[in-house]
Amino acid sequence: MSLEIILRSGLSTGTILLFAAIGEILTELSGVQNLGVEGMMLLGAMAAFKTSLLTGSPWLGLLAGIAAGGLLSLAHALVTIHFQADQVVSGLSLTFLGTGLALVLGEGLSGQNAPLIPNASIPLLSNIPILGRVFFSDLNVLVFLGYLLIPFSWWYINKTRPGMHLRAVGEKPAAADSLGINVYGVRYLYTFIGGCLAGLAGASISIAISPGWYSNLTTSGQGWIAVALVIFAQWNPLRAALGGYLFGMLRRFMLDLQGPMLIFGLRNPFFYNHNLVFFLQMMPFLLTIIALVWGSASARRQRIGAPGALAVPYIRGERR
Amino acid sequence: MSFSFARFIPYKLHIQKRTDEVSRWLPLATSVGAIVLAFLISALILLLIGGDPIRTFGYFFNAAFGSWGALSDVVVKATPLLLIGLGCGLAFRMRLWNIGAEGQFYIGAFFASLVPLVPLVNMETTPKFVILLIMGLLGMLGGGLYGLIPGWLKAKFQVSEIISTLMLNYVAVFFNNYWIYSKFSDAGFQMTPMFPKSAWLPRLADYARQVKAFSGITLHLGVVFGLVAAVIIWVIITRSRWGYEINLIGDNPQAARYAGIDISRNIILVFMLSGALAGLAGMSEVSGVVHRLQERISTNYGFSGVIVAWLSKLNPFATILVSFLFGALIVAGREIQPSGLYFFIQGMILFLVISSDVLLHYKIELVRAAPEERK
């Protein structure tokens, strides 16, 4: 068990959560809640893996994964934005649809080896002592993409005009509409982008960070954890990234905890009784709940809430 | 509200809020239409991946309704869906998203299994109905307590119940696994020993000696729990003060608060009852079907129950019908390949039903766009 390995593994697996969570943040900021992240991720993972396998190009696979997540999210957009269906139910059915479609189309993919997105080192940065070795050398290319996405999405949301429009549509759609912002268009766009990022998250599992197709175990609930992360992060990409990385590190730590015979000079219970590992496996999910309790308490203290019009359909000219 | 593709097509979609009364057959028609359409789309997908939809669905139909045995299997599979669908439906009335029936089901099954496994009572001398009664009550207690957690977190800390119930689903499965792999493992296998017969819910097959036709029919008493629960829930929501409070909180929480209704208390109570029903489903499954505790006692009942509740528009009697339909889907689904098709059809049905609801609230017409709009 070494801190460096835990840290690096956290950066890798955290990247998956980071993509999905930032995507969901963008979607929710526009006032659309899409609970179908798990389904979009799984479909993205399948599409990426299958495309990479068939074409031999992991980059085409990556694109296919992104497109698959985005396309699926459009179904949610249509039903919730135009048909004003309940967003929770639509999101859930999206999870079923995505899962089902991924399992049907992914038949026979398990056990195969597809070409993968490679690891890389950043030329100059990786020479920095210690930090360079931990953060910038021999990590998957997508991890670096994640590094870029964090500041970019924060800047985009908070400092640019389209970002301001995005937040306006999520907070007060009627006011945004009267300023000439196309509320429906904005909601469609960010639901789609959220879907693309969920697809990217899925692809980064199957053809990059923990490669392979293991039917619905490929994502194993990470889509839901990403949704929880959004609430914990209070719709802030920086916090979402931090949460994602921490979560990744915890996962690795729990795995490593099973190895040694002694921990701090004490008999390691997880080594001697392997069944106790089930309790370790519960931890990510319990920690998510604890993070939510803590997150919602601190959100209330700082008066940060969900976007004002989250999960509320907008009907032009109708008073609410 | 209107939406225009006028630039590309000389027609536009005109969506207008309905002011007239919707005729009574329309909700039913849209639901049936949605289900039919879901099967058609699934057939299309099958065709695209090189399957034979007609043969597959023929097989599907046969596997579910082809014989008395198959039909009884359908009812057996519908039983947990009915109980879970009723519980979720009750919670949804209050706009509480209990997606945690899967976990409550597992914990209920675990609590009920403690009776024969520990054993809590003498399994030889205690009358069978007492054993089953204790198992049923413990199942409800387990599910209810497990529902209490997200309810309490929601009432006290405003933690999103969608996330907490989902996370607790995973926790429950690992918890269950711990016990079947360790203390209650049957000689190292990943399951507990078979329960003694006194812990089995009576089945029709048990009476095969008296009625020949019953031989091999696995239908068990659990379905009666489901039917009784449907009546009880119906009485609660239409005939009781509590049901009135639940409906009011769901429709207009503001008004409910002004009326002096304790919303936190109701959140917790409804979550517990919802969980208790899922727990009872767990008990009915281990005692009526599996006869032991093991991995995968649920084939996604918790999630299908959510769909069942929504499709039945939260009406307890409609829940009976819809759960029967989904029972058929499960029975047929385990026979057909690819296995994911079953999930897909479920998702598609739900998706189309909620989409079709727009027809109930809005009038949609395709009108020819005026020439000046066609630039």
Helix (H) or strand (E) holding B17, with range, is strand B11-17
Test mutation, A285, A287, A293, chain B, max B CBs within 10 A:
A285
- Give pLDDT, residue A309: 84
pLDDT in tens, A87-103: 988 998 899 899 989 99
* Interchain pair B45, A104: CB under 8 A: yes
- Give pLDDT, residue B369: 64
Residue A80 maps to a domain: yes
- Give pLDDT, residue B9: 64
- Spell out which residues of chain B touch residue A311, defining contact as CB-CB under 8 Å: none
Region A38-52: mean pLDDT is: 97
Is it the case that residue A44 has pLDDT exceeding 90? Answer: yes
Q: Which segment, A119-123, B271-275, B354-358, is predicted with the most confidence on average?
A: B271-275
Give CA A236 to chain center in angstroms. Answer: 13
pLDDT above 70 covers a percentage of chain A that reads 98
Which residue of chain B comes nearest to A101, CA vs CA? Answer: B344
- Give pLDDT, residue B7: 57
Region B99-114: mean pLDDT is: 96
Q: Pick the range with the lowest mean pLDDT from A52-61, B171-180, B207-216, B353-362.
A: B353-362
Which residue of chain A comes nearest to B358, CA vs CA? Answer: A83
CA terminus-to-terminus distance, chain B: 20
- Give pLDDT, residue B375: 44
- Give pLDDT, residue A70: 97
Buried b / exposed e along B188-201 (16+ C-beta atoms within 10 A): eeebbeebeebbbb
**Phi and psi at residue B18, to the nearest 5°:** -75, 130
**Phi and psi at residue B186, to the nearest 5°:** -90, 100
SS3 B16: strand
Residue A230 maps to a domain: no
For residues A219 and A205, the answer to whether their CB atoms sit within 8 Å is: yes
Is it the case that residue B108 has pLDDT exceeding 90? Answer: yes
- Spell out which residues of chain B touch residue A281, defining contact as CB-CB under 8 Å: 174
Q: Both tokens of residue B252? A: 């207009």
Residue A106 maps to a domain: yes
* CATH number of this structure's domain B69-339: 1.10.3470
Tally the domains of chain A: 1
pLDDT above 90 covers a percentage of chain A that reads 60
Neighbour-count burial of B37, counting CB atoms closer than 10 A to its CB (0-12 exposed, 13-18 middle, 19+ buried): middle
Beta-carbon neighbour count of residue B125 at 10 Å? 7
Region A232-236: mean pLDDT is: 89
Spatial CA neighbour of B334 closest among B63, B39, B71, B72: B63
Q: Which residue has the higher pLDDT, B72 or B25?
A: B72
Q: Which residues are CB-neighbours of A298 under 8 A, at least 6 positions away? A: A234
Residue A72 maps to a domain: yes
Residue A213 maps to a domain: yes
- Give pLDDT, residue A223: 94
pLDDT category at B168 given cuts 50, 70, 90 is: very high
Residue type, A255: L
ipTM: 0.88
Which among A100, A105, A228 is the nearest to B343, CB-wise?
A100
SS3 A69: helix
pLDDT above 70 covers a percentage of chain B that reads 91
pLDDT in tens, B246-268: 999 998 889 999 999 999 999 99
- Give pLDDT, residue B337: 66
Residue A77 maps to a domain: yes
- For residues B114 and B125, give the distance between their C-alpha atoms in angstroms, rounded to a whole number: 17
Can you give the pTM of this predicted structure? Answer: 0.90
Q: Which segment, A205-214, A299-308, B103-112, B335-344, is predicted with the most confidence on average?
A: B103-112
- Spell out which residues of chain A touch residue B305, defining contact as CB-CB under 8 Å: none
* Interchain pair A92, B99: CB under 8 A: yes
Q: Both tokens of residue A162? A: 């389209």
* Interchain pair A276, B178: CB under 8 A: yes
- For residues A52 and A57, give the distance between their C-alpha atoms in angstroms, rounded to a whole number: 5
DSSP B198: G
Q: Which residue has the higher pLDDT, A44 or B31?
A: A44
Is it the case that residue B358 has pLDDT exceeding 90? Answer: no
- Give pLDDT, residue B27: 75
Q: Both tokens of residue A144? A: 């670096």
DSSP A22: H
- Spell out which residues of chain B touch residue A88, defining contact as CB-CB under 8 Å: 97, 162
* Interchain pair A100, B341: CB under 8 A: yes
- Spell out which residues of chain B touch residue A92, defining contact as CB-CB under 8 Å: 99, 303, 306-307, 350
For residues B67 and B284, the answer to whether their CB atoms sit within 8 Å is: no
- For residues B58 and B55, give the distance between their C-alpha atoms in angstroms, rounded to a whole number: 5
- For residues A157 and B65, give the distance between their C-alpha atoms in angstroms, rounded to a whole number: 55
pLDDT in tens, A248-300: 998 888 888 877 777 777 777 777 777 888 898 898 899 989 988 887 777 77
Region B79-90: mean pLDDT is: 96
pLDDT category at A54 given cuts 50, 70, 90 is: very high
Residue A102 maps to a domain: yes
Residue A206 maps to a domain: yes
Region B210-215: mean pLDDT is: 84
Region B121-150: mean pLDDT is: 95
The mean predicted confidence, pLDDT, of chain A is: 90
- For residues B245 and B266, give the distance between their C-alpha atoms in angstroms, rounded to a whole number: 8
Which among B171, B181, B344 is the nearest to A286, CB-wise?
B171
pLDDT category at B372 given cuts 50, 70, 90 is: low
pLDDT category at B1 given cuts 50, 70, 90 is: very low
- Domain span at residue A195? 10-223
- Spell out which residues of chain B touch residue A285, defining contact as CB-CB under 8 Å: 167-168, 170-171
